[in-house]
């Protein structure tokens, strides 16, 4: 396949600066929905055959599987992240986040499936991917006897920058992460928060389009977390796409334009953080009616005795909360009686609830 077939059009990057900067949250999230298919707990295998649009996506995972001896870390993961998103990749420890990031960073190969960054294949076009991506592994940089400036100059040199250009890039990225005043300080004397920001500066020296950040908030105090968030927000205004992993949902709240939830190597949810939270709370019944009559169903169920609340989600899925002890049969009765075609009636998937419980239990409290 030639580059021209896979490389995104430059004009796309200029088409919608607001979206690229992450300002147009609603439409960005819609794009995530559109790209991964419906925001539902559809088994990944069921979506594997769907054609995922590549050109507009900064990151595409298509049927990605990863086997290690004795364990499968990822089972047919499908995900598409549009350009300009801050995408939160959330999952408990051991769910496969680092494995996914390492595949995207070209450090390990998928056993099956395809991973792409900016339209380039992470296996066959690894060098193209490396030019466009910066990977910050879990853990802050440590090289106690180098100064901040020396540390960054080392990496800038590795990317082929020399002389005045190198000096100016190092100075720019230090300003960006607010470490300009620390340029001559030894790494060993920096706080953890400063070292994490330095880690970010390191992945920025070659001006990548996509940043892959593995748990950058780990171990940071609340203030340092806020500082990192501010830097990340600033980066989206520079049209970067940020793929950031965390085992703590709350850490990515207010920062991300969209999220994916990973559980035991499977993406169990992708969409807005608001949708994720709504789904995680309460028990609830999922209801769908035919003919695009979701709003009619909403009217019929709202206020019905035994129904506590009704919400319509994107795509016309109704979420109904019943009063204690009431049976879902009353929903079916009401809708069918009124001539609606009931196509789905089931308890809300438990997978996501479990994911959230394991994410939040003991972590956020």
Output the smallest distance, CB 260 to ligand ADP, in A. 12
Kind and range of the H or E run holding 197: helix 192-204
With helix as H, strand as E and coil as C, how does 134-181 read? Answer: EEECCCCCCCCCCEHHHHHHHHHHHCCCCHHHHHHHHHHHHHHCCCHH
Q: How far is the CB of 195 from ligand ADP (least distance, A)?
A: 20
Least separation in angstroms between CB 267 and ligand ADP:
12
3-class SS shares of the chain: helix, strand, coil, % to 5: 40, 25, 35
Shortest separation between residue 199's beta carbon and ligand ADP, angstroms:
17
**27 is written with which tokens?**
């439409």
Residue with smaller CB distance to ligand ADP, 191 or 358: 358
Return d(Cα 274, Cα 9) in angstroms, integer.
Answer: 31
For ligand ADP, the closer CB: 65 or 326: 65
What is the closest distance, in whole angstroms, from the C-beta atom of residue 265 to ligand ADP in the complex? Answer: 7
d(CA 331, CA 288): 11
Nearer to ligand ADP, 73 or 301 (CB): 73
Exposed, middle or buried, 77 (CB in 10 Å: 0-12/13-18/19+)?
Answer: buried
Q: Sign of the C-alpha dihedral, residues 108, 257, 228, 146?
A: positive
In the complex, minimum distance from the CB of residue 19 to ligand ADP, in angstroms, rounded to a whole number? 29
Nearer to ligand ADP, 14 or 68 (CB): 68
CB of residue 97 vs ligand ADP: minimum separation in angstroms?
Answer: 4
- At its nearest, how many Å lie between ligand ADP and the CB of residue 68? 3
CB of 104 or CB of 280, closer to ligand ADP: 104
In whole angstroms, how close is the CB of 257 to ligand ADP at the nearest point?
21
Which residues of the shown chain bind ligand ADP in the complex (CB under 6 A)?
Answer: 68, 71, 73, 91, 93-99
| Nearest to ligand ADP of 11, 71 (CB atom) | 71
Q: Where would I find the H helices in 211-309? A: 222-237, 249-252, 273-280, 294-301
With a CB cutoff of 8 Å and minimum separation 6, the contacts of 32 are 39, 80, 81, 82, 85, 87, 258, 270, 271, 272
Pairing of strands 266-271, 258-263: antiparallel
Question: Of 156, 90, 99, which Cα lies nearest the Cα of 122?
Answer: 99
Which one, 166 or 247, has the nearer CB to ligand ADP? 247
Burial of 186 per CB tally in 10 Å (0-12, 13-18, 19+): middle
- Give the residue with the Cβ less far from ligand ADP, 90 or 210: 90
Q: Are 262 and 93 in contact (CB under 8 A)?
A: no
Closer to ligand ADP by Cβ: residue 140 or 179: 140
Q: Are 90 and 252 in contact (CB under 8 A)?
A: yes
**What backbone torsions phi and psi does residue 111 show, to the nearest 5 degrees?**
-70, -35
Give me the phi and psi of 73, to 5 degrees please. Answer: -80, -35
């Amino acid at each position: 396949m030639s580059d021209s077939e896979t490389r995104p059009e430059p004009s796309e990057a200029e088409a919608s600066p607001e979206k690229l900067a992450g300002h147009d949250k609603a439409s960005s999230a819609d794009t995530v929905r559109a790209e991964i298919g419906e925001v539902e707990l559809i088994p990944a295998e069921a979506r594997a055959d769907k054609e995922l649009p590549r050109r507009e996506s900064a990151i595409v995972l298509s049927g990605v599987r990863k086997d290690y001896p004795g364990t499968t870390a990822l089972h047919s993961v499908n995900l598409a992240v549009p350009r300009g998103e801050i995408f939160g990749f959330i999952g408990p420890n051991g769910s496969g986040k680092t494995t996914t990031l390492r595949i995207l960073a070209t450090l390990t190969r998928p056993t099956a499936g395809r991973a792409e960054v900016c339209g380039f294949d992470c296996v066959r076009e690894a060098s193209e991917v490396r030019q466009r991506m910066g990977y910050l592994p879990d853990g802050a940089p440590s090289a106690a006897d180098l100064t901040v400036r020396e540390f960054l100059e080392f990496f800038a040199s590795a990317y082929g920058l020399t002389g005045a250009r190198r000096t100016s890039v190092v100075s720019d990225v230090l300003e960006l992460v607010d470490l300009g005043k620390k340029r001559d300080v030894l790494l060993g004397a920096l706080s953890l928060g400063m070292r994490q920001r330095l880690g970010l500066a390191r992945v920025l020296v070659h001006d990548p389009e996509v940043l892959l950040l593995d748990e950058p908030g780990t171990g940071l105090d609340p203030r340092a977390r806020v500082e990192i968030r501010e830097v990340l927000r600033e980066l989206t205004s520079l049209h970067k796409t940020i793929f950031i992993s965390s085992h703590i949902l709350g850490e990515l709240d207010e920062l991300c334009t969209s999220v994916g939830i990973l559980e035991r190597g499977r993406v169990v949810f992708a969409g807005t953080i608001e949708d994720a939270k709504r789904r995680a709370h309460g028990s609830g019944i999922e209801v769908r009616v035919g003919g695009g009559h979701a709003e009619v169903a909403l009217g019929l169920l709202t206020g019905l005795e035994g129904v506590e609340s009704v919400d319509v989600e994107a795509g016309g899925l109704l979420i109904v909360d019943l009063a204690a002890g009431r049976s879902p049969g009353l929903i079916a009765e009401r809708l069918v009686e009124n001539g609606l075609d009931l196509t789905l009636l089931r308890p809300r998937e438990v997978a996501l609830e479990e994911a959230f419980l394991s994410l939040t239990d003991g972590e956020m409290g």
